[in-house]
Amino acid sequence: MAVISDALKLTPPATGTAGGTQVVFQTTAGGNLILSAPGSNRLSGKQFYLQASGYVSGGAGTYTATIQPILYGDASLATVTTKPLFSATAGTLAYTGTAAAGLTIPWSMLAQLEGDNVSQTFYGNVEGQAGATYKSPTVSVAPVSTINFATEPPIKFAVGMTTGGTLGAAPKLVITEFGLYQE
């Protein structure tokens, strides 16, 4: 697949921390990590893919936590992180031990999307995995805003994580891939 846009090549992400709340991945400068689709009708009427992945780790100790990746999307930069398109089924991160490394589980989401300027919206299906827990492709929730594929950029995406429970000492939420692709 050809790379359309890769958010991590443009902006380095910060390592997030969790405390039982919803977190949107940030840049090292402190803003939200946003992936913008190209405009000029490049994606109008064409299928494209979004892929995001990473891992969550908890430090030494005894704990059980849930890890649930979330994909956001909207035309407006101001509201992109308030418009969830998909939530993966929560995976479990459970650990009992004293090793300094603790436990790490991977997570990933893959979206197959399409849209056009006639309807001024986009739809698709998204699948996700958090550790050993997989959620099969589900139709994404369409954003409220209309999408104009001729504008630059027509749509923006963000990735977040909901965590529940505790993750031990020094928990980390890491994103290692966040890109748009086209065949």
Give tens-digit pLDDT for 70-94: 999 999 888 898 889 998 888 887 7
- What is the band of 99 on the pLDDT scale with cuts at 50, 70, 90? low
CATH match of 2-9+16-182 with 3.40.50:
no
pLDDT tens figures, 125-134: 999 999 889 9
Contact yes or no for 124/140 (Cβ under 8 A): yes
The CA distance from 157 to 85, in Å, is: 9
For the chain, the C-alpha Rg in angstroms (whole number) is 17
Whole-structure pTM value: 0.90
Say which residues have a Cβ less than 8 Å from residue 159's Cβ, sequence separation at least 6: 24, 25, 33, 52, 69, 70, 71, 72, 109, 175, 178
Residues 6 or more apart from 9 whose CB is under 8 A from it? Answer: none
Residue 89 is predicted with a pLDDT of 85
Displacement of CA 111 from its chain's centroid (Å): 10
